[in-house]
Amino acid sequence: MANYALVTAAGRSRRMGGANKLLLEFEGLPVLVHTLRRFQQSPLIEGIALSAPPDQLELYHQLCQAHALTKVGWVVAGGSERQYSISNALEEMQIEPDDVVMIHDGARPLIDEQLLARLVEGLAGAQGVLPMLPLKDTIKRVQQGVVECTLDRSVLFAAQTPQVFPFQAIRAAHRQARQQDFLGTDDASLIEWVGGKVVMVEGKATNIKITTPDDLVLMRVYLEAESVGR
């Protein structure tokens, strides 16, 4: 049984003014390269699949070659939705049914080895595992600007990636979702939808998703703290 990363990088960056946030340079490297390097350097990861915008496939191939990302074995054209992009990549991956797939946002460049190991361990006996963080703020349900109620924060968690699954289970769930036109909010929701068991492990506050320019500032702070802690 081997572990593979599937990195999603086919989306459009509306909150970055339409620019491809994954190609924005941070300390001389595109954000996407920072993400891919984490998996490239991990002894837990056998190979990497990369979902890319259909009109940038060659660019992504060149990026992987230029930065010696030798574990990237598949660069696959994405679809109109994130779910379809992942489905396309799963169909292209030539791996064993009992291998493990870690589906990860390309815009989360600070994934670390400790969390990867925790996820692999947490998958035992389940069809899916994902990192989650408890919510700190009070959460209200609102309709048309009117507060309806306050939700119980103790049972609410924020989901992160990588979300980790047996290859056969997540590919089957994606196939069924496509056949029945079901669109989930994330990959774990597809396993939930088909009745599979999904569990959680503790996520990391540093595992941020780059969605606005301010997140790049936060990324710098976390990287500096990471280098000091080595």
Read off the pLDDT of each residue in 23-52 and give the average, rounded to a whole number.
95
Determine the pLDDT at residue 10.
86
Q: What would the pLDDT profile of 172-210 be if each residue is shown by its tens digit? A: 999 999 999 999 999 999 999 999 999 999 999 999 999
Structural domain including 29 reads 3-229
DSSP 29-91: EEHHHHHHHHHHT-TTEEEEEEEE-GGGHHHHHHHHHHTT-TTEEEEEE--SSHHHHHHHHHH
In degrees, rounded to 5, the angle at the alpha carbon of residue 136 between the alpha carbons of residues 132 and 141 is 95
Of the candidates 106, 111, 132, 228, the residue with the CA atom closest to the CA atom of residue 188: 132
Write down the mean pLDDT value for the chain: 94
How many structural domains are present in the chain?
Answer: 1
CATH number of the CATH domain containing 221: 3.90.550.10
Determine the pLDDT at residue 13.
58
Q: Flag the least confident range among 15-24, 51-60, 190-199.
A: 15-24
- Residues 75 and 60: beta-carbon distance below 8 Å: yes
Q: What would the pLDDT profile of 214-226 be if each residue is shown by its tens digit? A: 898 899 899 888 8
- Residues 214 and 144: beta-carbon distance below 8 Å: no
Whether the per-residue pLDDT at 40 is higher than 70: the answer is yes
Of the candidates 95, 101, 144, the residue with the CA atom closest to the CA atom of residue 123: 101
- Cβ neighbours around 203 below 10 Å, total: 20
Residue 115's pLDDT band (cuts 50, 70, 90): very high
- Cβ neighbours around 28 below 10 Å, total: 6
Determine the pLDDT at residue 226.
80
Determine the pLDDT at residue 21.
83
Determine the pLDDT at residue 165.
99
3-state secondary structure of 210: coil
Determine the pLDDT at residue 19.
66
Dist. CA 144–CA 84, nearest whole Å: 31
Residue 25's pLDDT band (cuts 50, 70, 90): confident
Q: What is the pTM of this model?
A: 0.93
